Structures are given as C-alpha cells and as structure tokens.
Amino acid sequence: MSWVPPDLSQVCRVHTTVTTCAPSTLIFINLVVRLFGNSRDTSTKNHNYYQFSRFIFDSDFGREYHETPEKLKERIKEKEYDFIVVGAGSAGCVVANRLSEVPEWRVLLLEAGSEEPDVAEVPSFAPLLQRSSIDWAYMTQPSPHSCLARPGGQCYWARGKVMGGSSTINYMVYIRGHPEDYDEWEAMGNQGWSYREVLPYFIKSEHNKNRDHLNLFYHGNKGYQSVDTFPYQDENVLHIIKGFKELGLDEIDQNSEDLIGVSLLQATVKDGERHSTNGAFIRPIRHKRPNLVVSPNAHVTRVLIDHNTKIAYGVEYYLNGYLQRAFAKKEVILSAGAINSPKILMVSGIGPKAHLSQHGIHVVQDLPVGYNLHDHTTIDGVVLTLTNKSVTTVNDQKRTSDIYHYKKTRRGPLSATGSLQVNAMVQTKYEKSSSQPDIQYSFDSVSVKNFFNDPILTAQTNVNPLAYYDGLMVRPILLHPKSRGYILLNSTDPVYGPPLIHANTFKEEIDLLRIVEGIKQGLNLLHTKPFKKLNIKLANTPLPACRKFEFASDAYWSCVARSYTSTIFHPVGTCKMGHKNDKTSVVDARLKVRGVKNLRVIDASIMPKIPRGNTNAPTIMIGEKGSDYIKVRWLERNGLTAEEEFPYGR
C-alpha cells in the first residue's frame, strides 16, 4: 500500500493565511507521493510471507475445524515459532535480527504498521511523516498543567506505526545519554545495567562513519546501525555552534562521557538517507534468513497466557481482516513501545487489578503496568527571526528542483535536517549534580509568519521540509522530568481504541521552573557575535494565550510552556524495570515480566528513568542487551547452560 500523507483538509480553512494550507502545498505533497510514496521493501516478495495468507480458527471464536486431526496438527505446527517479537520498532527489529542469528530458531516479527515508505528515507521530509498513515497519532488526555491552548487541551504524541517504528518517523538524532543515567539504573536494583555494562551494547550496534573526529573507545564500526553526520549543513548550523562556543560551551562528542557542551549531531543516517532500525537490522537479512518471518500490517491484540500455569504461549493478532494466532515454543517478546506494550499487557490480563477488573478482563498478574510514564518535554513559542542574510526559504520551482536533485544524488539541502543538526546541553541553576545537564537545546525550522498568524494551525499542518525556514524555534528540552503520568485502557474500546495517555506534564513545579530557566539561558545566544552579525532577533509578538503577561517575563514564559506544551516524543517507563522488592516495577533486570513465564518486554517502556538524551539509541541498546539475555537462557555452551556461563548476561 502507498504512503498516505497527512490530511490537511480537516484543519485548513479556505481563507487561512497559513501558507501550508495553500494550493502550492498540495502540489508539493502530490509530487512527494508520486516520487517517494511507495516502499522499496515491497519490490521483492518475502519468501516467508506465504505463511500469512493462511489462518486457523479456534473454537474460542465459535468456529469448528473441518479437517482431520493430522491436518490440524500440521497447520498448528506451521504457526509455531521459537520466538514471537511484537513490534518492529527501535528495539523489536534488533531483537528479531539477533535471535534469528541462531539458525535453529524460528522467529516471527509482527508489526501493526506497513512497510517503510521511501518518503521516510528523506531526512528533510521528517515533518511530513507525522499525522500520516505511518503514525499512530496519539493524543494525551486534558490536564490542568499543560497543553492548555491546544484543541481540547490535548497534546499530540507521534509514534511510528510502520516497519522501523518510531525510528522511521523520528528526527534521527543519535545520543545515548549520560553515563550516570545507567549507573543510576543499576543503583535502583537493576544488576547488569551500569554504564560500564551497557556501553559494549551501544558499540555493538553501531557502524559509525565519523570516527576520524571521535574518541574510538566509545564507538564501533562493525554494527548494523549506521551513524554519521548529515552530508549538508547550511550556514545557520555553523553559526549556532559558534554562538554556543562563545557562551563557554566546548564542542564535544556527546556520545562519550561528557554531555555538557555543543555538537554537530550524529544521526542514524547512511549516505544521505535515514537509516531506521528496519533499514539497519531487518532489510539486510529479511530475504536471506529462512528462519525469520516478517509480517507487517499484523495488529497484535493480546498475548496468549495459560491462566493456570501463567505461561505465555503465543499471541493473537489481526491480519488481512482475520483474527489469527501464532504460538511460541520459547518466549513472547513485547517490543511495541512505551504506549502499546503496556496496552497489550493490560488487555492480556497483566496490569493493575482494579483497572482490569473494571473492564471485565481476567487478571493473570497484578502489576503496575502503565505507570511511571515520563517524556522529554519541550515547548513551542520561543521564535527567533532571521534576515535575508541567513534565511533558507526557496520558491516552489527551486524546491521542486531540490527534490529531483535529492532523488538522483541523495545530496543537497533535503539530505539533512536543517537547523536541527545542532545540539547543546547545559545546566540550569536548579541542577545540583556536578556533571549532568538538565536542559537540552534543539532548533526547529519555522515559518515566522505562519506561526504568529496561527501557532496551533501551524503545528497541525506542518509539512514543510526542514531545509527551508526564515525563523528558528528554540526548544529547551527537559532532560530529567520529575512529573510522572500513566496509561489506561480506553473505556469505550479497550482492545482497539487508543489508550488513554495521562501525561501529567508540568505537574511538578520544578519541571516548569527548569524550562523557564532554559528559555532564558538559550536567549543568551542573541548577545553573541555570530547572532549579532546575522541580525537574529527574538520575535516579540505575544502568543494569544499569554497576552495578559509582560512579554518575555518569567510569568509569560511559564504561560507559554503550560499553554503551548510540546514534546520530542520520547515516552518511557510504563513497564518499569526494577528489583524484586520494587513494587513499582513490571519487569526484572533481565526484562522478564514478573509472575509470568516466557514473556519479556524489550523496549523503551522498561526504562526506570529516562536518559539525558534522545531515546532511540538507548532503545537500540536495550534490544541488543535483551537479545543476549534471551540467548543466555536458551543456548548451551560447553556442557553448561548459557545462563550458568554468563550469569549476568553478556
């Protein structure tokens, strides 16, 4: 199926002054669909896919088999695998790859979304992917603390519904977090998760192509995941870096042991294209390993668990309009992400007893599934205006020319993410540690006129390539939030309806104080020589929801943060990893679901605390480490079980 772009007709109005609603935008989107709307992964038939054109009914669904017992056994055997991986995202693709390295193991990878479309490969087209056919497009529940100016008081949370998951729709930033983040995980009772023990897994996955400029102790070049800088930078990127350096930040490798500083970002990019975990870990092996079966468009509804033994033995899922089952002889692995993994667990009977009982779900195991939700919060509203000295906007003819140039060469402005290539991390006055940052800065491209004409509509219709802009949206990002939220099942339709996301952003006052301080520190860039030379100014138009406050005062920025709340889409923590005595934990240090056998969760939901940095790289690491824990359990070496040989994993 072709990629379907965002539907702007629902939010655009005939007389709107937002240019993303103009006819030229529709022409642009149609060109993108024509050139990039299909998927290279559908060009060759997967030789294993035939298995999914067949299905078996179970008596649970009011059907009877009309075949001999022998034929039935044969069909059931065809649906048996050693491992079933649910979710082909940042972790799931890694797990499916590493488990299928063992030729004797049959591995099934199920993904609710479609094949990865070619449009996702174009770095500058990242905004077009949100709210499109490959995005779950979740919305948070209204809160008195945040998203107050958004429609219905709800914030939009993008999550990838596609091969590669959110690594296919994100902005490709590769940052691992601070070493002390992982030491803190271990100190919370998670043996084996210290920085010293997770660093080899970061290195294992990585094929870093920028090694000449990096400390090689921290980087690898033999992994599946390509990591590099983008092949194109406009002058604003270089001037922002110079500005931060003038403010006293060193230019550093933020994937070493230091994060406080500025850098030209490393990204999951390969030769001018996005390199999602699907492109990195699945595409190279998909047609070469007969023991790996990959099924997109397979929407898992629940894990099959024996209620007496509490052993997971398979999954139930929809494919091609039919409810089907697949069976796991060894383990079921949930890698559906911090929103969908807890949902699947709860529908399967694993979660808070009172909540499950409310929905009539048989409780298999009473666990705090869905709690400990937190994210990297940011805001819309801190906008810097550029002059003709540094704007990168182009006319429609030049934009079309750039598209064809990229199509042919994988170079030019569309091969990068514009001003988002710069990353800086700082400490505010509220951070008490000696080495850990609490604010990260990114710089979104923005149309200044569009934003101040209608900040809400601009966000809802953002399909502009990142390469073209006349303003910079300064995004202070809260790195270590104290606020916690939770996820519940949809009371109207718990199985197929979207879960209820109670983000609770800014519930804790300290989070708001850090953001406001981060805004003020970021605006110090305006006093640096590079910014003065380019005549970059703070746009001083008050936003509608905050006009009653003095512009640029603490009260004004606090109002902006609570009214125009946003996120960089890093939800974690909803299946928390912890010690057996930690009553808030869902999985143990080997990622096994407590009280249920042969079931693990391997994705960002297991993070007890969010790392200080973008979560894609840590989630890939979790996939690598979790895969080894599985191998440790099931493989035998030298007459010993692998678990005896490697008692704490590898």
For 254-298, the DSSP string reads: TTSS--SEEEEPPBSEETTEE--HIIIIITTTTTT-TTEEEESS-
Q: Cα separation of 292 and 285, whole Å?
A: 9
Q: Any known ligand binding at 170?
A: yes
Q: Any known ligand binding at 291?
A: no
User: Is there a contact between 266 and 213 (Cβ–Cβ < 8 Å)?
Assistant: no
Instruction: Please identify which residue in the block is written with the tokens 């808030």.
Output: 584
The 3-class secondary structure across 377-422, one letter per residue, is EEECCCEEECCCCCCCCCCHHHHHHHHHHHHHHCCCHHHCCHHHHE
Q: Any known ligand binding at 586?
A: no
The angle, 0 to 180 degrees and rounded to 10, between the axes of the packed helices 23-36 and 396-409 is 10
Instruction: Please identify which residue in the block is written with the tokens 């729709």.
Output: 169
Instruction: Please identify which residue in the block is written with the tokens 């949902």.
Output: 343
User: Is there a contact between 128 and 31 (Cβ–Cβ < 8 Å)?
Assistant: no
Task: Give, in order, the Cα–Cα distances in Å from 426 to each of 260, 605, 613.
Answer: 5, 26, 12
User: Is there a contact between 96 and 630 (Cβ–Cβ < 8 Å)?
Assistant: no
Catalytic residue among 207, 275, 480, 570: 570
Reply yes or no on whether 275 is catalytic. no
Q: Any known ligand binding at 171?
A: yes
Q: Any known ligand binding at 468?
A: no
Q: Hey, which bits of 457-582 come out as E strands?
A: 471-478, 486-488, 500-502, 537-538, 565-567
Q: Any known ligand binding at 300?
A: yes
Question: Minimal CA–CA distance to 267: which of 238, 217, 308, 233?
Answer: 233
Strand partners, 221: 207
Q: Calculate the dihedral angle through the C-alpha atoms of 23, 32, 397, 408, rounding to the nearest 10 degrees.
A: 180
Residues of each annotated binding site for FAD: 162, 170-173, 300
Residues of each annotated binding site: 162, 170-173, 300
- Active-site positions read 570
